[in-house]
Amino acid sequence: MSFARTFLPSPSLTNNLSVKFTVKCQSVDGISGRSEIRLGLPSKGRLASETLDLFKLPNLEVWFQRPKDIVQKLVSGDLDLGIVGLDTLSEYGQGNEDLILVHDALAYGDCRLSLAIPNNGIFENINSVKELAQMPQWTAEKPLRVATGFTYLGPKFLKDNGLQHVAFSTADGALEAAPAMGIADAIVDLVSSGTTLKENNLKEIEGGVLLESQAVMVASKKSLVQRKGLLDITHEILERFEAHLRALDQFTVVANMRGNSAEEVAERILSQPSLSGLQGPTISPVFRKVGGVVTPDYYAIVICVPKKKLYKSVQQLRAIGGSGVLVSPLTYIFDEETPRWRELLSKLGL
């Protein structure tokens, strides 16, 4: 029996979250041992705060765990759902069939797991994994020394790529320094902007990307099938993720426009390529009293506009007589049922 690590995150992040702060005994008997649904979220590191931003859900017990512990606790049945990087899921899940991807692209935590070698010395003209494998230097006595925290994916990748003489070492933290320190010849680590590699005079090479990663949502298949209420919560979370991700790159634009009728204003708006919105503009009359008579001589129009087209849209609105343009961010756009839900059901054989 082991004890869960629990953390006290900042209160602003945990508004609306039902979080258990007590240290709890973890059950080892999985499905039958408890009635509440458990979600594991990264307790620290770069995935933690953005994940919390996504989770403002009631009726859910949230446990903050280290990413690799989330994967292990899904497998052991101590968590039902979790959010981790695909790299962590692949490294610690090791193809376990009980781990099921609910959402494979949460659009943050983007990075890749990559092999990197020094820019210079014997590696100066080595630009691909194939060339690395063909170097005469690597022998049984003097293998290619690779430093990595990815002790499952790293060796698997190099073996699959025909590198026979390889020795692995693990290290925590600044792996990138290992080659310059003479501890390793190459590294396998996460790369995002490439800055850390550059600072350490390392380069990526052709064929050297093991995995493209971003934050994903994963569930225990066993729990999904057996635990009452879990499928419904998963459905809701999935819908909210999709709606939120869809909303992230859109703005709502509200503007006033003079016109004789809603149809005439609509004609003008639809003549502009950047103003068609998601399904066309919403147009409502703005009533004013002119000479004692209530008249709709202005119309308020509402459209959704992709962020990158915002300025173009404002220009087009002005060109057709729009004024008083208000722009606000969107939180959710609920569209039709997400295909990911149907995919999940079919993976579960439901």
Ligand X SMILES: O=P(O)(O)OC[C@H]1O[C@H](OP(=O)(O)OP(=O)(O)O)[C@H](O)[C@@H]1O
Ligand Y SMILES: Nc1ncnc2c1ncn2[C@@H]1O[C@H](COP(=O)(O)OP(=O)(O)OP(=O)(O)O)[C@@H](O)[C@H]1O
Residues that bind ligand X (CB under 6 A): 173-174, 176, 189-196
* Residues from 87 through 126 that contact ligand Y (CB under 6 A): 87-88, 109-111
Q: What are the backbone angles phi and psi of residue 122, rounded to the nearest 5°?
A: -65, -15
Beta-bridge partners for 65:
42
Q: Tell whether residue 40 is a contact of ligand Y (CB under 6 A).
A: no
Token pair listed for 242: 């999709």
CA distances from residue 129 to 117, 122, 133, 189, 317 in whole angstroms, order as listed: 10, 14, 6, 15, 53
Q: Which residues contact 218 (CB under 8 A, 6 or more apart)?
A: 71, 74, 81, 82, 83, 84, 89, 93, 99, 100, 101, 102
- Please report how close the Cβ of residue 109 comes to ligand Y at its closest, in angstroms: 4
- Please report how close the Cβ of residue 113 comes to ligand X at its closest, in angstroms: 10
Q: Which residue from 20, 24, 46, 347 is in contact with ligand Y, where contact means CB under 6 A?
A: 46
Q: Which residue from 9, 82, 85, 277 is in contact with ligand Y, where contact means CB under 6 A?
A: 85
**Alpha-carbon gap, residue 142 to 164, rounded angstroms:** 11
DSSP-based three-state secondary structure for 209: strand
Q: Which residues contact 278 (CB under 8 A, 6 or more apart)?
A: 250, 303, 304, 333
Select the binding partner of residue 35 from ligand Y, ligand X, none (C-beta < 5 to 8 A, by kind).
Answer: none
Select the binding partner of residue 189 from ligand Y, ligand X, none (C-beta < 5 to 8 A, by kind).
Answer: ligand X
Token pair listed for 183: 């501890």
Q: Tell whether residue 45 is a contact of ligand Y (CB under 6 A).
A: yes
Q: Tell whether residue 80 is a contact of ligand Y (CB under 6 A).
A: no
Q: Which residue from 5, 44, 130, 159 is in contact with ligand Y, where contact means CB under 6 A?
A: 44
| Residue whose CB is less far from ligand X, 60 or 113 | 113
First to last CA, the chain: 34
- Please report how close the Cβ of residue 150 comes to ligand X at its closest, in angstroms: 10
Q: Considering CB under 6 A, how many residues would be counted as binding ligand Y?
A: 15
Q: Which residue from 60, 146, 190, 275 is in contact with ligand Y, where contact means CB under 6 A?
A: 190
Q: Which residues contact 311 (CB under 8 A, 6 or more apart)?
A: none
Span near ligand Y by CB under 6 A; candidates 40-48, 233-241, 253-261, 294-302: 40-48
Q: Tell whether residue 67 is a contact of ligand Y (CB under 6 A).
A: yes
Token pair listed for 260: 């004789």
| Residue whose CB is less far from ligand Y, 87 or 185 | 87
Where on the chain is the footprint of ligand Y (CB under 6 A)?
A: 44-47, 66-67, 85, 87-88, 109-111, 190, 192, 213
